[in-house]
Structure 1
């Protein structure tokens, strides 16, 4: 067992295995996932775990150069919390339809129990050097 960081074995392996430019999506419970894209389903009940609970440890493990959010996300508190967690990471706002298209090229989608509409974050892996 690890002392800290991601304890979920598949999430830890994904974070370690992503290459520069690879996409990882942290998604609400309702995001449709295209066939062929791996789903790490963490949802246990409505709202559990929430998006922020899952996003925090992923960001602590993964070098992220860019994030994409859907313009349809309107929950101001959640937007503020997501952008606070992202810190200095560049963010692009796009339509939900475009965000769904991006998921087709993702290494994996991490499904949370988040029930706030359009609360999905596409993370593009960076490089440590």
Structure 2
């Protein structure tokens, strides 16, 4: 048995398979997940687990260098938007339209579906290099989230 971290086998395997520059999507309960992309469904019921809980568990496992969100999030989900701004202090944060985010999902390595219900709680996360000198600036302590 694992000592800590993600114990969902499908998610643990998917995260372990990421390479530098690979990206995946953490999405809310209503995101239109493409049929061709692997779905890691964590949703138990509406709101459980939420985006914050999923993100905290994921960031305990991987290093992220770039984050892309829908620009609509800022106006329609300020709570989620401010949370992401606090968490990703050193990562490049890109804001694109929700329509563009949906198109990028077609090429995601996998998509993690949460039970989140706040509008536009969809985050495209790009994996950083595992090389120590390149990843140090991107390490996020989940205890600080």
Which TM-score applies when normalising by structure 1? 0.94
Match of 2:89 in 1: 87
Shift of 1:71: 0.6
Structure 2 gaps of 5+ residues are: 132-145
Given that 1:24 and 1:109 are in contact with CA atoms closer than 8 Å, whether structure 2 keeps it comes out as: yes
Match of 2:101 in 1: 99
> RMSD of the alignment, in Å?
1.1
Shift of 1:93: 0.4
Classify the secondary structure of the residue corresponding to 1:24.
strand
- Correspondent of 1:111 among 107, 110, 113: 113
Q: Deviations over 1:92-117 (max 9, x none)?
A: 00000000011001011100000111
Distance 1:5 1:99 in 2: 28
Structure 1 gaps of 5+ residues are: none
Distance 1:50 1:85 in 2: 15
Given that 1:59 and 1:86 are in contact with CA atoms closer than 8 Å, whether structure 2 keeps it comes out as: no
Distance 1:87 1:61 in 2: 18
1:8-27 residue pairs with structure 2 within 5 A? 8-27=8-27
More helix by share: 2
Length, aligned pairs only: 129
Shift of 1:33: 1.0
Given that 1:56 and 1:85 are in contact with CA atoms closer than 8 Å, whether structure 2 keeps it comes out as: no
Given that 1:69 and 1:93 are in contact with CA atoms closer than 8 Å, whether structure 2 keeps it comes out as: yes
Distance 1:40 1:87 in 2: 27
The structure 1 segments of at least 4 consecutive aligned residues displaced by more than 4 Å after TM superposition are none
